[in-house]
A = this chain, B = another copy of it.
């Protein structure tokens, strides 16, 4: 089955201690869509300006991403610029130019409204909700977020969380949202806000899932060289959703392996600037790392 992904489609200018790369293909939906495309057909919903490079459209097409839902509007594409510190854990935003993203309203083509697997990648929660309003009977909805929305759109976010099956956020966001330091307590508090599944991302320490059948500790693939972590979280959720959409049986039964697949795609994402490494990966390389991770945690 195909996956519907809505989120940001952007140009990212990324600076690390080792290099600087202007106007790479970025945005939560771009990363998530490419990640999901290794597993399932993807329908992307987003907006870009008239300046959006044709080569990036080609890149989506190369991954057989359906871009019927990608609006091309007069004006400039959303442009984000950020800089990482030496340890690659801390980053600061240098520039945010919203461009056509400022007035973005996601409109779903009719063919998209019946999608069963819906990934609301990181974007304003009111827009995520607007997508859900247009859906008919999705089977599984995941929403990702970021600290910005906790700070400026908490009410919208809380309204959205109620409506999703799985909610994804990172450790510090979980603490911020729930005011709980303990991860089990934080997960429980988030379950009370609605979602059956809570997934907490912990960067190079992997991720953690809480669901009706208990907890899952998902490993991260140990990397020799982190070139650029931008989009790793988006790749993680994209990989999860892509894998889930291809499996029969209950979502819960498949979610653990889906998370490992997402974790592996995220590991590839970190090995290159923007989508440079991810777009060169093959499914068999992903499966190989999934098998390696299985060995890594075996005891």
Contact = CB atoms under 8 A, between A and B. Distances in A.
Contacts of A185: 224
Contact of A216 (B87, B181, B184, B299): B299
Interface of A: 86-88, 181-185, 202, 204-206, 208, 214-219, 222-226, 256-257, 259-260, 294-299
A208 B297 CA distance: 10
Contacts of A216: 296-297, 299
Could you say how many copies of this chain the assembly holds? 2
Given A214-B296, A219-B297, 20 more contacts: A182-B223, A182-B226, A183-B222, A184-B222, A184-B223, A185-B224, A202-B205, A205-B205, A205-B206, A215-B296, A216-B296, A216-B299, A217-B219, A217-B222, A217-B296, A217-B297, A257-B299, A259-B299, A260-B299, A294-B299
Contact of A182 (B181, B215, B225): B225
A87 B183 contact: no
Nearest to A219: B217
A122 to B, nearest CB: 24
Contacts of A215: 222, 296
19 contacts: A87-B181, A182-B223, A182-B224, A182-B226, A183-B222, A184-B222, A185-B224, A205-B205, A206-B217, A215-B222, A216-B296, A217-B219, A217-B222, A217-B297, A218-B299, A219-B297, A256-B298, A256-B299, A294-B299
B296 A184 contact: no
A34 to B, nearest CB: 23
A294 B217 CA distance: 10
Nearest to A258: B299
A299 B262 CA distance: 13
Contacts of A206: 205, 217
Contacts of A257: 299
Contacts of A214: 295-296
A226 B185 CA distance: 12
Contacts of A295: 214
